[in-house]
Structure 1
Amino acid sequence: MKKLVILGSGAGGTMMANKLATNLEEKDWQITVIDKTLDHHYQPGYLFIPFGMYLPKDVVRPRKNYLSRHIRFIHDEIQSVDAEQNKVHLASGSKIDYDFLIIASGCTIHPEENEGMTGEGWHQNIFDFYTLEGATKLAKFLRGWKGGKMVINIAEMPIKCPVAPLEFSFLADWYFSDKGIREDVHIEYVTPLSSAFTKKVAAAELGHFLEQKNIHVTTEFNLGEVDSEGNKISSFDEQNIDYDLLITIPTNMGAEFIGESGLGDELNFVPTDGKTLRSKEHDNIFVVGDASDIPASKAASVAHFASETLTKNFLRVIEGLDPEPSFDGHANCYIESGFGKGLLIDFNYEVEPLPGEFPLPGIGPFSLLKESKANHWGKMMYRWIYFNMLLRGVDLPIPAKMMMAGKNALHHVA
């Protein structure tokens, strides 16, 4: 019997396990998924918890509900991978052999990597919203906050879901407006990038949003230190920004075992062929989702599209064929813009977000790079689709490769 081991049962790992369980059902394969937690978290939902739109119970489900009965699940912590001996070492002392390995261990925030961040102010007036704990504690804080200067700061790139900090800014504007204290809240968006929207067409189409919402933007700010006693952040080039409330997106890193195993870069992301999704160093290791270093967004939609390509490539490889270089970095992201409306961007490695309609030209129902109520409801419906279709490996009627149909190609193409 051949053995496939999948490390991680987040979005990418669960989708891959279920897709391959279906495709390998009649073949002599054992699929094993390893994860240290028994709950599955809908991470895009963390964004809504600080504003009371979701509760923690809305984003957490038992993992066992979403893995096929044909899959062996091991509840344990991964310590290391011996890629030469094809073994996974677990915290319990167990060793799991594999013929093929799929790394789907995601990425998480590491505030300890940012000097001063986890000092006295941590979860007092410094909060993240990329964890359930951080989002929940921030929700409690915001319910009693009377206003002041809110700074939303991205420590460094890459980060999980690159548009989420912008969405947080827009939802904060809406939330404080509804509370009647918007005039008492100064919102400043601080990024290490050259603009809030990094793609030229998106910047041209959407750049006015922040100004209209009275959200101030500071660009090219590379976080050097957090002074929690003085309530200020400093950049490496000695810029200083004061805050009353700091919303931080700390350094994001891949799983620790990747670094311990010598499989990753300095941030524990696995060097991966961006088109085949196979490890650049080991032919029997594939990577899906946020664990890889491919130049695509670290987002559930990318993991979904990548899982379709990886399923085909895995089946090719076990038949003795070469993987096809067919993944195009497709990402499809709804962006909450507040007040019951949203935006939508659809892009890949080569084509930046363009205006138009999605998925049907002239029909939509979703608008690209244009605010609409339909886009907001697309975002809200995604949770149901995620739990009931994507995780279960159900194919959606949207191809993995990005379509140009419905897009205004007269705009700049990267």
Structure 2
Amino acid sequence: MKNLIILGAGTAGTMMANHLVKKLPKKDWKITIIDQYKTHYYQPGFLFLPFDIYTENQVKKDGKKFIPKDVNYVQKLIELINPDANTIQLEDDEMLPYDILVVATGSKTAPEEIDGMSGPDWYKTIFDFYTYEGAKALRDKLRDWKGGKLVVHITEMPIKCPVAPLEFAFLADSYFRKKGMRDKVDITYVTPLSGAFTKPKATKALHHLLEEKDIKEVVDFNIERVDYKNNKIVDYADVEVEYDLLVTVPTNMGDELIERSGLGDELNFIPTHKTTLQSKNHENIFVIGDATNLPTSKAGSVAHFEAEILEENILRYIEGKPLKEDFDGHANCFVETGNNKALLIDFNYDHEPVEGKFPFQGIGPMSLLKENRMNHWGKLAFRWIYWNMLLKGIPIPFVPSKMSLKGKNFE
């Protein structure tokens, strides 16, 4: 019997387990998924937790319930990947052999990468919301905060869900207006990019929203350190931004396992063929989700689209057929803008977000790159879709893995 091992039982790994268990013959293949954590988090929900829109129980569940019964589930720390021997070393020195390896180890925040960020003010006046612990601590802080200078900051790219920091700024504006204290809060959005987003047309639309909501914007800010004693962040050009409350997105890095195994780049992301999802250095290793170094968004929708394509490519690899170069970098993201409204963006490697209708040409019902309530309800509905469809490997009707050009205004 041959062995297929999936490393990581987060979004991407769980989806792949559900995809592959339906396709690989049980008499020939044993599928094993390995993860050290018991809890599965709905990470998009971390954005809503600080504003008391979601509760703790809405963003976490027992991860094991989403693993198919025919998949061997191992809950242990992974010490090392040995691609030359085709083995996985676990924390107790147990060695597991594999014929095919799927790496879905995700990414994590690394506040220690910036001097002063994770110092004595961490979770006091400096917070992240990309972790469950950070989002929960920030929620408790915002409940009693009296106002001042709120700075929403991105350390560097790439990050999980590039629009989430913007969403946080928009939701903060809405949150403080509802509390009747928006006049007491000065919001500044600080980014290393030259604009609000990575794509020109989306940047223009999002910049307009920042202006409309009286959120200041500081661009091209490459942070050197956090001066927590004087409550300011400082970049390499000695530009300073003062804060009373700093909500930062720290450096995002791949798992330390990738560094220990010598498989990653300087940020521990694995060099991956952008259209096939095969490792560039080992043909029997495939990579999915945030663990890749692909030039696309690190987001749950991307992992969903990748999973549908990777399923077929693994089957083709087993059969000795050429891999399909079908992944086009497709990303589909709702951008919450506050006041029960949201934008929707749909893009890939070659096409930036533009206006139009989604998923049906001329009908919608979703509007692309336009703020409305329908998109907001779509954003909230995604939580149900995530738990009940995405994780279980069920395709979303009318949303193909490859980006459709229909209904989009490219002129």
Band the TM-score falls in, shorter-chain normalisation: over 0.9
Question: In 2, Cα distance between the equivalents of 1:27 and 1:158?
Answer: 41
Q: Within 5 Å, which residues of 2 pair with 1:17-28?
A: 17-28=17-28
**2:405 matched to 1:400?**
no
Shift of 1:55: 1.2
Q: Which structure 1 residue ranges, 4+ long, deviate > 4 Å from structure 2?
A: none
**2:353 matched to 1:353?**
yes
Shift of 1:204: 2.9
After alignment, is 321-330 or 283-292 more displaced?
321-330
Shift of 1:27: 4.8
Question: In 1, Cα distance between the equivalents of 2:115 and 2:233?
Answer: 10
Q: Within 5 Å, which residues of 2 pair with 1:13-412?
A: 13-397=13-397, 398-410=399-411
Determine helix, strand or coil for the equivalent of 1:170: helix
Q: How many residues align?
A: 410
Shift of 1:331: 0.2
Amino acid in structure 2 at the alignment position of 1:134: G
% identity of equivalent residues:
54
Question: In 2, Cα distance between the equivalents of 1:48 and 1:207?
Answer: 22
Structure 1 residues 95-130: Cα deviation after superposition (integer angstroms, max 9, x where no partner): 111000000000000101111111111000000000
Question: In 2, Cα distance between the equivalents of 1:153 and 1:97?
Answer: 43
Structure 1 residues 70-99: Cα deviation after superposition (integer angstroms, max 9, x where no partner): 100000011110000001111122111100
Is the 2:196–2:206 contact (alpha carbons within 8 Å) kept by the matching residues of 1?
no
CA RMSD of aligned residues (A): 0.8
Question: In 1, Cα distance between the equivalents of 2:184 and 2:24?
Answer: 59
Is the 1:194–1:219 contact (alpha carbons within 8 Å) kept by the matching residues of 2?
yes
Structure 1 residues 191-222: Cα deviation after superposition (integer angstroms, max 9, x where no partner): 00000123121123332100000000000000
Question: In 1, Cα distance between the equivalents of 2:322 and 2:285?
Answer: 14
Question: In 1, Cα distance between the equivalents of 2:150 and 2:63?
Answer: 36
Structure 1 residues 328-380: Cα deviation after superposition (integer angstroms, max 9, x where no partner): 00000001000000000000000000100000011111000000100000000
Question: In 1, Cα distance between the equivalents of 2:101 and 2:275?
Answer: 18
Assess, with a 3 A threshold, how the Cα gap between structure 1 residues 126 and 206 changes in structure 2: closer, same or farther.
closer
Shift of 1:26: 4.8
Determine helix, strand or coil for the equivalent of 2:64: helix
Is the 1:87–1:96 contact (alpha carbons within 8 Å) kept by the matching residues of 2?
yes
- TM-score, structure 1 as length reference: 0.98
Amino acid in structure 2 at the alignment position of 1:322: P
After alignment, is 203-212 or 181-190 more displaced?
203-212
Amino acid in structure 1 at the alignment position of 2:320: G
Question: In 1, Cα distance between the equivalents of 2:31 and 2:237?
Answer: 50
Could you list the runs of 5+ residues in structure 2 that have no partner in the other structure?
Answer: none
Question: In 1, Cα distance between the equivalents of 2:377 and 2:239?
Answer: 40
- TM-score, structure 2 as length reference: 0.99
